[in-house]
Structure 1
């Protein structure tokens, strides 16, 4: 079956409902990458991997975050570009896991199931958030175009301020925006369905997921290098320590996502620092493509 999503015509990806389905999909991709028969520009949309972290309550699979980390690690061994895109997409989905209404999240997850790639926009330190203001039946995102960069993903999530005190995010269709010139992007019109109130835990969970998946990415990157050059004993120990932190973080994220406990911000900070430290120590001899 083929569907059209905002002028994007593509086959419906397979549903990966079990952890073994994810592993099998990774095996297929690695085989295709090794043989040189992989289109890296469309591989994620066709693989089904984009939807692997959708919550079970929204029809997603009950997949542990250790398998999610394995997906990023394994893909990084044959394509840093594809691994970075998947990493950014998974962080974006974590940002919306607790944001907006149930109906809004359901609509977003439906786009993911059809193969759309999301990305969380980064903001320069100290830069003001774009502002959402009412514009008829929709919203105008003032100066929203200034935070957009040329991107290969389908949707960008942007943090925004509003007339109220509640933090918001706006979700922008990049393919639709490409028809405008740069000047027209200074203020963007956003449909109300794609303006979400930011969840109370969304920022810290996205930060933890970022540190976790960057560590997984480096683990895969170092793996690829180790296949070529046997590691020194020191780096081998560092990799084992990184593995341990990835497993601990995966267990913590699983608990947070399933049981919804009270968030211990100090614990989140500690895990982020530990993951970043272990990642940077492993990447000292094997610098990654991804930004720290």
Structure 2
């Protein structure tokens, strides 16, 4: 996989190698310790140094392959203090789930080896709304038609792009940062980049298996929900501090408000745990019933707790009904 193995050289922190559940949470805690005001560049380097970027690599490829519930726990912990860093992890792990379910063993091994050295992927565009991006043959590789935009914390090493070929099949295209022009549309955390005229070598195009989009979308939902969970925990802590200080505000009784926060937190945490367990099982043995179960619980999360970029409650309810009918 020539385009992946010849990565541009740049200085980067050396990532830790995580091999236990305790080390995952310790690494997340060290990122959190940087505080809410840490600059994007500092957070991006901290994610590399932490070793968290590689924790979802399958054991068959010498990875820790930690459970999805533990990944969600780490993302939630970071989201309580640093939402931008948590969002970068969501995009990275969602892209890695596509890699897990696509390409050849050689292609997967190549990208996993780079992730293990601290390289970060960023998924462009939502998986759940269907892709309109297309790629066409161009010399010895392919070219993406049109332009696309991606939001990232700092500068990712790879853009993971879903695109259609002439046969209307969706593939995953891995575009190395620096191999194409990436213009900043909006600064901030995350920054918004626009990519134009992207050329992709043939060995950086990964064919996806039939369950790839469903499983990656479900993982994205789980981890987005984990960021919401972290935010709700932060808000609850802030409200409790105000209450204890004797400075409540608003018309609703303060104890009722606190109680509602707690119910939402417990409900969301339970749904995340159930969906994570179902995804763990589907990653080991992707039976049709198992994949449907993952999608069903992930869709229930989206309905109960609308997430950023949600597909609309009516659409989601119809989709949930179809899974019950066909499952």
> Where do residues 93-112 of structure 1 align in structure 2 (5 Å cutoff)?
93-112=96-115
Is there any run of 5+ residues in structure 2 with no aligned partner, and where? Answer: 1-5, 186-193, 241-256, 311-327
Residue 130 in structure 1 maps to residue 134 in structure 2 = yes
The size of the alignment, in residue pairs, is: 277
Sort the Cα spacing of 1:265 and 1:98 in 2 relative to 1 into closer, same or farther, 3 A: closer
Residue 9 in structure 1 maps to residue 35 in structure 2 = no
Q: Which of 161, 168, 172 is the matching residue for 1:169?
A: 172
Higher mean Cα deviation, 149-158 or 36-45?
36-45
Q: Secondary structure at the match of 2:122?
A: strand
Offset, 1:199: 1.8
Residue 267 in structure 1 maps to residue 293 in structure 2 = yes
Residue 52 in structure 1 maps to residue 55 in structure 2 = yes
Residue 224 in structure 1 maps to residue 234 in structure 2 = yes
Q: Which residue of 2 aligns with 1:113?
A: 116
Provide TM-score, normalisation by structure 1: 0.84
Q: Which of 20, 28, 31 is the matching residue for 2:33?
A: 31
C-alpha offsets along residues 187-234 of structure 1, whole Å, 9 cap, x if unaligned?
322112211111211100011111111111111111111111135212
Q: Secondary structure at the match of 2:42?
A: coil
Sort the Cα spacing of 1:150 and 1:234 in 2 relative to 1 into closer, same or farther, 3 A: closer
Q: Which residue of 1 aligns with 2:142?
A: 139
Q: Which of 217, 238, 241 is the matching residue for 2:267?
A: 241
Q: Which residue of 1 aligns with 2:66?
A: 63
Q: Which residue of 2 aligns with 1:154?
A: 157
Higher mean Cα deviation, 262-271 or 166-175?
262-271
C-alpha offsets along residues 120-161 of structure 1, whole Å, 9 cap, x if unaligned?
21169576321231x232222232xx1134643221111222
Separation in structure 2 between the aligned mates of residue 244 and residue 130 of structure 1, nearest angstrom: 38
Sort the Cα spacing of 1:161 and 1:31 in 2 relative to 1 into closer, same or farther, 3 A: closer
Is there any run of 5+ residues in structure 1 with no aligned partner, and where? Answer: 281-287
Offset, 1:109: 0.8
Sort the Cα spacing of 1:277 and 1:116 in 2 relative to 1 into closer, same or farther, 3 A: same
Separation in structure 2 between the aligned mates of residue 205 and residue 179 of structure 1, nearest angstrom: 28
